[in-house]
Amino acid sequence: MLQGRMRDIGRKLLVLSGKGGVGKSTVAANLAVSLAAAGKTVGLLDVDIHGPSIPKLMGLEGRRPTTDGAQLQPLHVADNLKVMSIAFLLDSHTDAVIWRGPRKYGVIRQFLKDVAWGQLDYLVVDSPPGTGDEPLSVAQLVGSPAGAVIVTTPQDLSISDVRRCVSFCNALSLPVVGIVENMSGLICPHCGERINLFKTGGGQALAEEMNVPFLGRIPIDPQIVASSDSGTPFVQRFPDSAAAKAFADVIGPIVVEQPQDRPVPVDTVMENNSMKLAIPLANGRLSMHFGHCEQFALVEVDEAAKKIGETELLTPPGHEPGVLPHWLHEQGATVIIAGGMGQRAQQLFAENGIAVVVGALVDTPEQIVSAYLDGALQTGDNICDH
């Protein structure tokens, strides 16, 4: 089901930033609107679980999605622009989401699998700042083709954090579509001149240093603040402004790079819903740390039909850094369900194309897999979150 849904999407763009406060959500919202204005069919997904900004930026606060059978219907801003955010499911905009990694992984997976996105040219994903659970989960789940649009401001503090963001993408084999230098100069509301408040050129210099494309500079414009607060995307409200033209320049290389971005309809592609889950075991039940297990249960499943196929019990090789992710990849594993796993190990699994679910409770592999397929897998703390 997830794989079929993602095959209906031409390209996924993860909007990332090394730190907060750089205007990442504003860039994501206006990027999506700009792509839609260019005639593309676009989805905008807000996975900033703890600080969702997209509903406010898109004028959708207080709205609720509807359900159609097992599908969640995204909100339509226009015929070719659909939006989904965790904020749509909260009782109040003041509610705090206090979740650990496993629950965040679960809701991100649900937004990708159970939302009726339909056929899209682009899915723009607004991720929280940094390189934590949410961007890691999205990068593991969306499949290809996917790429990262990284947002920075010109000053050195932001640039140094973006270096880590590029390294994160390299570790996950996630192509960097390019770097956007936001807040690059202030457009004076009186004379229209540009004033370099935070200096300029840092994003372009970093792109050259890291050997990734530079997409362009977005200036500070007081009208961006006004339009964001009013819930009207800036490029829609002020299409002739210098900043709106800068957004158009940013999407230019993205659209040119993928001239045939509409996906092949899913019914013309041979369906393959099979996946293989890896469960680390001790005494026949889930081992609370994957590296201390005696065996791995490798369970073939059909996710769409929710059927469990053949189960194979294998003895793993010696536990040394990087060995188990590569070994499980060779066995065909696509997901590992563990009680505890450190961040570095999760990253290594991602590099080997294996999605990670942590915080699972001790149970038999049969019960764990059944709960996973039913969307009812119970998870708690990641006991090895280091």
Which CATH number characterizes residue 246's domain? 3.40.50.300
Bridge partners for 66 per DSSP: 73
Residues 144 and 172 in one domain: yes
Q: Are residues 81 and 152 in the same domain?
A: yes
What is the spatial distance between Cα 64 and Cα 367, in angstroms, rounded to a whole number?
A: 34
Instruction: Looking at the structure, tell me whether residues 309 and 199 fall in a common domain.
Output: no
Q: Residue 257's pLDDT is what?
A: 58
Of the residues 257, 289, 319, which one is the last residue of a structural domain?
Answer: 257
Instruction: Tell me whether residue 173 is in a domain.
Output: yes
pLDDT of residue 262: 42
- Tens digits of pLDDT across the chain (386 residues): 677 788 889 999 999 997 788 889 999 999 999 999 889 999 999 998 877 999 999 999 989 888 877 789 999 998 899 999 988 987 666 566 655 656 777 788 888 988 999 999 999 999 988 777 788 888 878 877 899 999 998 877 778 788 888 888 888 888 999 999 988 877 677 777 777 776 677 888 889 988 999 999 988 888 887 888 888 888 888 888 888 888 888 888 887 655 444 443 333 333 445 789 999 999 999 998 887 889 999 999 987 678 899 999 999 987 776 789 889 988 989 889 988 888 778 878 877 778 888 888 899 999 999 988 887 787 777 766 55
Buried b (16+ CB within 10 A) or exposed e, 139-161: bbbbbeebbbbbbbbbeeebbeb
Verify that 338 and 291 share a domain, yes or no.
yes
Q: What is the reported pLDDT for 373?
A: 84
380 in a structural domain: no
Q: Does 234 fall in a domain?
A: yes
Final residue belonging to a domain, choices 223, 257, 291: 257
- DSSP notation for 153-175: -SSHHHHHHHHHHHHHHHHTT--
Pair 27, 67 in one domain: yes
Q: Is residue 10 part of a domain?
A: yes
pLDDT (0 to 100) of residue 99: 59
pTM recorded for the entire structure = 0.70
Same domain, 251 and 278: no
State whether the Cα torsion 241-244-249-255 is positive or negative. Answer: negative
CB 21 within 8 A of CB 53: no
Same domain as 198, residue 323: no
Q: Which residue has the tokens 């002739």?
A: 240
Does 30 share its domain with 137? yes
Domain count for the chain, please give it. 2
pLDDT at 261: 41
- Residue 264: inside a domain: no
Q: Which domain holds residue 338?
A: 274-373
- 147 with 120, same domain? yes
Q: What is the pLDDT of residue 93?
A: 62
Is residue 262 domain-resident?
no
Q: Are 338 and 289 in contact (CB under 8 A)?
A: yes
Asked if 62 and 126 sit in the same domain, the reply is yes
Domain contains 268? no
Q: Give yes or no: residues 209 and 280 share one domain.
A: no
382 inside domain = no
Whole-number pLDDT of residue 100: 60
Place of tokens 């039909």: 305
Q: Which of 222, 257, 292 is the last residue of a domain?
A: 257
Does 123 share its domain with 202?
Answer: yes
CATH at residue 300: 3.30.420.130
Angle (CA) 382 384 386, round 5°: 110
> Using omega within 30 degrees of 0 as the cis cutoff, is the peptide bond preceding 265 cis?
no
